[in-house]
Amino acid sequence: MSESTFPPDPEAPRPSTPPAGGMDPEPPRPPAYTPGSAQPRLNRPVHERYPQIRPTSGYGDPRIRHTGPGPGAGTEQEPERSSKLSARLALALTVVIGQLWGLTIVVDEWMAGDTGTAWWGTGFLVLSFLVVLGLWAIDPKDR
C-alpha cells in the first residue's frame, strides 16, 4: 500500500533545513512491510517479551489499582492498515446480519405463496453478497 508519510512532528528537527552534508529533501519511503522485526529479540511472542502482561493484566487482582498495558499492547505495527481491515470486517458483518433478516423475509413470502416478492428478496440477498465480496476483494491479502 502506498501511504504518505506521517505529518512531521513540529518538535522534531527539520530535515528540510539543510544540515551539513546536504540531505535529500524527499524523505525516504518506508520499506515494504514484513511481519516481525529485524531484531530477533523483538520477534518473540508478546508473552515472552513482556511476562508482566498476563491475559487479564491484573484486572482480576484486587490489590492492583492501575492496571498496566492490556494483553495486546505493543503488537500493532500498522494501525492505519489494520483499522481499515477492521472497518471492512465490521461492514461485512453488518451486511450479513441484514442478509439473515432478508432470508427470513424470503422464506415467509415464499411460504405465503408470494413468489414474486420472494424473488425480489433473493435479489437483495445476492446484491448483499456482492457487496461483501467487494469488501473482501479490496485486498484479499491484507492481514
Smallest separation, CB 6 to another protein (Å): 22
Q: What is the Cα–Cα distance from 82 to 79, expressed in whole angstroms?
A: 5
Q: What is the Cα–Cα distance from 114 to 106, expressed in whole angstroms?
A: 9
Q: Which is nearer to another protein, 1 or 93 (CB)?
A: 93
DSSP string, 32-46: PP-SS-SSGGGGS-H
Pick left, alpha or beta for residue 60 (phi over 0 → left; psi -120 to 50 → alpha; otherwise beta): alpha
Smallest separation, CB 67 to another protein (Å): 18
Q: What is the Cα–Cα distance from 5 to 80, expressed in whole angstroms?
A: 12
Q: Residue holding cell 424473488?
A: 119
Q: What is the Cα–Cα distance from 79 to 69, expressed in whole angstroms?
A: 17
Smallest separation, CB 89 to another protein (Å): 5
Q: Which is nearer to another protein, 21 or 51 (CB)?
A: 51
Q: Which is nearer to another protein, 52 or 67 (CB)?
A: 52
Residues of this chain that bind another protein (CB under 8 A): 35-36, 39-41, 43-46, 49-52, 72, 75, 85-86, 88-89, 92-93, 95-96, 99-100, 102-104, 106-108, 110-116, 118-119, 121-122, 124-126, 128-129, 132-133, 135-136, 140-143
Q: Which is nearer to another protein, 23 or 126 (CB)?
A: 126
